[in-house]
Amino acid sequence: MIPSTSKVQAKKLSSIDSGSPVPDCPNFSKYLYRKIVDLPPKYTIHDFTRAEYSSSSNESDFSIGRYDEKRENMYKGELFEKEQRNIHVGIDIGGPVGTKIKSFFDGNVFLFGYNNKPFDYGYTLVMEHVIDNKNVYALYGHLSKKSLQGKYKNQAIEAGEIIAEIGNENENGGWPPHLHFQLSLLKPKTYDMPGVVSEAERDRALKIFPDPRNVLGAIY
C-alpha cells in the first residue's frame, strides 16, 4: 500500500484542531459494531517501522497497516520531512480494487469530496456517528469515484450498509489499493484529516484520533 515515490502533501494537525478541548473518549465497549471490510481468515500485517515499504506483489492480498506506528523515511517531501510527520494515526486495510466497504454503525454522511493532491486521499467520505452520546467522525480515504455517487449531506446510513469501495491508483490519490480508516473526536473542517503527525503532535493527536480498533475489533 506504499507508493514507490512518496511525494505526499502533509496535513498539519491544525487543519482539524483549533486548540479547543478534546472531548472525552466515548465508551466504545458499550456497543457492537459491524465489519467495515470482510477480511479473509489470513492476511498480512505490515510492520512499516522497519522501512520495508513495498506493497505485496499479489494485488488480491488483504493486509493491515497499523495505528500509532512510526514510519520513518516513508513520507517524503518538504512539509513532511521538515515537520518529521511520520506517525500514522489511522489504520490501513489493503485489498483488491472494488472491495466493498461498510458502515460500522448507524450514522449520517457528514462530508465527502476529492482530495486531489498527489498521494493524498483521493475520493474521501466522512461519516458522523453518535456513540455513548458523543459525536464521532469516521474518515474513509482512497475510495473509488463511484463511491461518492448519490451521496448527500446528512444522508442516513445503517450499520452494515455498503457505503464505498476501494479505489484504483488513478482515483485514490496514486496509492496501491487500500482503505485509510480514521476516527476523530473533533469535527473536521472539510473531508480531510491528517493521517500522519509529528512526534511533537503525537500525544494530542492520539486523543483526537482514537484507535480505530475500538470499532474494528482486534484485527491485529
In this structure, are residues 96 and 142 in contact, taking their beta carbons and an 8 Å threshold? no
Q: pTM for the complete prediction?
A: 0.90
Give 3-state DSSP helix, strand, coil % of the chain, rounded to 5: 15, 30, 55
pLDDT tens string 12-60: 676 677 677 999 999 999 999 999 999 999 999 999 887 655 554 454 5
Of 140, 136, 144, 153, nearest in space to 98 by CA: 144
Render 14-82 in DSSP notation, one character per residue: GGT--SPPPPPPP-GGGS----SS---S--EE--GGGS--PPPS-TT--EEE-SSEE-TTTSBSHHHHH
pLDDT tens string 141-173: 999 999 999 999 999 999 999 999 999 999 988
CATH of domain 13-17+31-216: 2.70.70.10
> What are the structural domain ranges in the chain?
13-17+31-216
In this structure, are residues 28 and 97 in contact, taking their beta carbons and an 8 Å threshold? no
Percent of the chain with pLDDT over 90: 70
